[in-house]
Amino acid sequence: AQVQSDQAALCDLVTDETLDLYDTVPSSDEHTYLREAMLVADHNAYHIGQIVTVRRDLGLWPPSADAE
């Protein structure tokens, strides 16, 4: 549930038309909102790849047709 909540918050952030994604985040003079969003996306993609690899190694990938 937390992953979905965090993902929704990130989507809300990057689609907020009142926010300039090229502005720096409050905690840094160098990092922009866009950079931080891209880092989160890259980080999550890396871990999804790890999950797929483990599931393949366990014989659990691809998911069965009846899985939700």
In this prediction the pTM is 0.76
Extents of the domains making up the chain = 2-57
Q: What's the CA gap between 19 and 67, in Å, rounded?
A: 39
Each residue's pLDDT tens digit in the chain (68 positions)? 888 999 999 999 999 999 999 999 999 999 999 999 999 999 999 999 999 999 999 999 888 777 66
Report the DSSP beta bridge partners of residue 24: 32
Give pLDDT, residue 28.
93
Give pLDDT, residue 53.
95
Give pLDDT, residue 29.
93
36-to-4, 28, 62 alpha-carbon distances in Å: 18, 11, 31
